[in-house]
Amino acid sequence: MTDNKTDYLAAQIDDLKAQGLFNTIRTIDSPMDGHIVVDGRPALNFCANNYLGLANHPRLREAAKRAIDQYGIGPGAVRTIAGTMSLHVELEKRLAAFKGAEAVITLQSGFTANLATIPALVGKGDVIFSDALNHASIIDGCRLSGATIVSYTHNDVNDLRTKISEVQAGGYVTRSGETLGDNPNRRYLIVSDGVFSMDGDIAPLPELYTVAQEHDILLMMDDAHGEGVLGRGGRGIVDHFHLHGKVDIEVGTMSKAFGVVGGIVAGRRVIIDWLRQRARPFLFSSAMTVPDVAACLEAVDMLESSEELVQRLWSNAEFMKHELKTLGFDIGSSTTPIIPLMLGEAPLAQQFSRKLFENGVFAMAIGYPTVAKGKARIRVMNTAAHSQNDLEQALTAFEAVGKELGVIR
199 binds ligand PLP (CB under 6 A): no
Task: Give CA–CA dist 178/190, Å, rounded.
Answer: 20
Instruction: Give the nearer residue to ligand PLP in terms of CB position, either 288 or 320.
Output: 288
Of the candidates 137, 393, 122, 409, the residue with the CA atom closest to the CA atom of residue 251: 137
Sheet holding 376-381, edge to edge: 338-344, 376-381, 365-366
Please, are residues 166 and 95 in contact by the beta-carbon 8 Å criterion? no
Catalytic residue status for 355: no
Instruction: Give the nearer residue to ligand PLP in terms of CB position, either 117 or 197.
Output: 197
Minimum distance from CB of 359 to ligand PLP (Å)? Answer: 27
Looking only at residues 123 through 162 of this chain, which bind ligand PLP when binding is defined by CB under 6 A?
135, 137
Single out the catalytic residue among 57, 135, 163, 225. Answer: 225
250 binds ligand PLP (CB under 6 A): no
50 binds ligand PLP (CB under 6 A): no
Looking only at residues 203 through 222 of this chain, which bind ligand PLP when binding is defined by CB under 6 A?
222
Please, are residues 304 and 239 in contact by the beta-carbon 8 Å criterion? no
111 binds ligand PLP (CB under 6 A): yes
Long-range contacts (CB closer than 8 Å, 24 or more residues apart) made by 23-28: 26/362
225 binds ligand PLP (CB under 6 A): yes
Catalytic residue status for 334: no
Residue 369 preceded by cis peptide, ω within 30 = yes
Please, are residues 208 and 217 in contact by the beta-carbon 8 Å criterion? no
- Which amino acid belongs to residue 74? G
255 binds ligand PLP (CB under 6 A): yes
Catalytic residue status for 256: yes
Burial class from Cβ neighbours inside 10 Å (0-12, 13-18, 19+) for residue 155 reads buried
Single out the catalytic residue among 57, 88, 163, 256. Answer: 256
The stretch near ligand PLP (CB under 6 A) out of 39-47, 104-112, 119-127, 238-246 is 104-112
In the list 33, 126, 131, 193, the residue contacting ligand PLP (rule: CB under 6 A) is 193
The backbone torsions φ and ψ at residue 260, rounded to the nearest 5 degrees and listed phi first, read: -120, -120
The backbone torsions φ and ψ at residue 178, rounded to the nearest 5 degrees and listed phi first, read: -80, 135
Minimum distance from CB of 228 to ligand PLP (Å)? Answer: 12
Instruction: Give the nearer residue to ligand PLP in terms of CB position, either 87 or 203.
Output: 203
359 binds ligand PLP (CB under 6 A): no
Please state the three-class secondary structure of 200-245 as a single string. CCECCHHHHHHHHHHHCCEEEEECCCCCCCCCHHHCCHHHHCCCCC
Minimum distance from CB of 328 to ligand PLP (Å)? Answer: 29
Q: Which residues contribute to the site for ligand PLP (CB under 6 A)?
A: 109-111, 135, 137, 193, 197, 222, 224-225, 253, 255, 263
Give the active site residues: 197, 225, 256
